[in-house]
Amino acid sequence: MSEYVLARIEAIQQELEALRKLVAHQVQNTKRPTHLKGLWKDIEITDKDIESAKQAVFRDAYNWQD
């Protein structure tokens, strides 16, 4: 019985630690960097590439007139 209680206490402590990390992450509002894996792992993407992609996707937003 006491072994079960000790194991349960340890499991609760681990769950509390995971919750603490989750809440701390949300409070700090930090984002983890996105890592490219698989097919894209060896490709280097520059800021210029990202801007070019934004303009391609949102081309009407960049070319609107009043």
Cβ atoms 7, 14 nearer than 8 A: no
- Residue 14 is predicted with a pLDDT of 95
- Residue 25 is predicted with a pLDDT of 74
Reading phi first (left if > 0) and then psi (alpha if -120 to 50, else beta), residue 44 is in beta
Q: Report pTM.
A: 0.40
pLDDT tens figures, 25-60:
777 766 667 776 777 777 888 899 988 888 888 877
- Residue 38 is predicted with a pLDDT of 76
Res. 9: pLDDT tops 90: yes
- Residue 40 is predicted with a pLDDT of 73
- Residue 55 is predicted with a pLDDT of 82
